[in-house]
Amino acid sequence: MENKISVITVVFNDVVNIRKTMESYFSQTWKDKEYIVIDGGSTDGTVEIIREYSDRLAYWCSEKDDGIYDAMNKGISHVTGDWINILNSGDYYVSNGVLEDAISSIEEKNVDVIYGNSIAKGRETEKFIVASPDISKMENHVIYRHGSSLIRTEVQKKYTYDLKKRRSLGYALDWDMIYRVYKAGYIFRKVDVAIEVYDEYGTSNHIFRNLWYNYLVISQGKFKFYIFIKLIINILVTAFNISPFYSYVKAIGVEYMINDVLPNIPFWSLRKSYLKLLRMKIGIGTFIMKKNYFLSPWLFSIGNNSHINRGCVIDARGTINVGNNVSISHNVNLITGGHDIQSRHFNGLFEKITIEDYAWLGIGCTILKNVHIGKGAVVCAGAIVTKDVPDFAIVAGVPAKIIGEREHDLEYHCIGYQPLT
């Protein structure tokens, strides 16, 4: 499978951000790539910065265009690679290896669109945006950020941005393109890689306008009653979610109930019912003791026959997935949140934790964000885990290091239910 990646950046009068975006491309470890920059005739110094890199660009121009999507189409026409990624000015890659990680995660030759997760950068925080792996949800809404995807060049050139729809769809022409590709039956694959950091307060982040554009894209210009009803419901739900009243409901129904009332209820069946009501996924035969502290329980899932003891802090804001037959001892900390210590605004960072089947987390250990605990791995008491732990490895210390290996032939269930605990 040929895997040359063509990255396109479109820009207009963004002298503050263009260098950061371009440097993000040049820092990528994936070698087989090309860079195309389309400037809309900037007059603020942007062109001078682009010119500094001109000898490293496959193509660039600075001329008046008919808007951002016209510029993207222009960039697409100059692509010679096998895959296309759009990296808008002001956006940048999560790390130096994301293109390599994304393209290397796909082994099938028939995949047409690769997409991953994103990070929304606010003025003082960063949110980890998890793209859904369920492509059927495209029937209701776009499930990933345009910039956090790679699309085969032959598909992208067939499905360019439809400039005739600009008046009705505004900034949603990328959503329209993605939806048309989906409806045409092309194959999408989710990779568990955060690809793009984007500005949370950018052009396309207007809540109610997004809902309206989403309706227009899904209906494709035709009135469909059931889609219209969904639009009305989404508007009402969104209006409630951003109202001050919602904050009070959330504080009482989630934070207070989960962490002040629920820990004192002695019946697991009642606690489990409430946690499931909040969309926590709990497998068959799994038991969670009292006196645990949860953040964002709806982003926490745990498999079958697993057990969580008392006193644990489970911060699932960046998503936590726990497998089957996992034993989590007392006072364990699962922390998906943190802060960028170099950020002037102390920006928040949230990344996923995954704990595979048969793992055992010892008393008082801490698992930090963006860590994968392998199948059958053991984390010893008091260890602080900052890096991935291989399957069946035994780790200990601060920071945790491998000190041994566990038996591979594991066949037990964690049966930990005790009445009134």
pLDDT, averaged in runs of 10, over the chain (421 residues): 88 94 95 96 95 96 91 95 94 92 85 92 75 83 87 95 81 85 93 86 63 71 74 74 70 78 87 89 93 91 95 93 96 90 70 95 96 97 96 96 94 73 63
Predicted local confidence at residue 20, as pLDDT:
94
Predicted local confidence at residue 417, as pLDDT:
61
In sequence order, which residues have a C-beta less than 8 Å from that of residue 347 and are 6 or more positions away? 121, 122, 124, 125, 126, 339, 340
Q: Count CB-CB contacts under 10 A for residue 87.
A: 23
Q: Are strands 149-152 and 83-86 parallel, antiparallel or unpaired?
A: antiparallel
Query: What digits encode the pLDDT tens for the residues 287-346?
Result: 999 899 999 898 999 999 999 999 999 999 889 999 999 999 999 999 998 887 766 666
| Three-class DSSP category at 60 | strand
Give ∠ CA 250-264-360 in degrees, rounded to 5. 95
Predicted local confidence at residue 320, as pLDDT:
95
Measuring CA to CA, which residue among 299, 306, 365 is closest to residue 331? 365
Domain with CATH 3.90.550.10 in the chain: 5-205
8 Å CB contact between 332 and 378: no
Tokens 């001050």 appear where? 244
| DSSP element (H, E) containing 152 | strand 149-152
Token representation of residue 184:
């045409």
Question: Which candidate in 339, 345, 408, 413 is catalytic?
Answer: 339
What is this structure's pTM?
0.63
8 Å CB contact between 373 and 390: no
Catalytic residue list contains 206: no
**Class (C level, CATH) for 5-205:** alpha beta
Distances (CA, A) of 209 to 82, 171, 234, 235, 250: 34, 10, 12, 10, 25
**Domain 266-405 belongs in CATH node 3.40.50.150:** no
Measuring CA to CA, which residue among 190, 177, 207 is closest to residue 148? 190
Please state whether the peptide bond connecting residue 390 to the residue before it is cis, i.e. omega within 30 degrees of 0.
no
Can you tell me the distance from the alpha carbon of 282 to that of 275, in angstroms, rounded to the nearest whole number?
A: 9
Predicted local confidence at residue 416, as pLDDT:
62
Query: What digits encode the pLDDT tens for the residues 25-34?
Result: 999 999 999 9
Predicted local confidence at residue 373, as pLDDT:
97
Domain with CATH 2.160.10.10 in the chain: 266-405
Predicted local confidence at residue 168, as pLDDT:
74
Predicted local confidence at residue 93, as pLDDT:
94
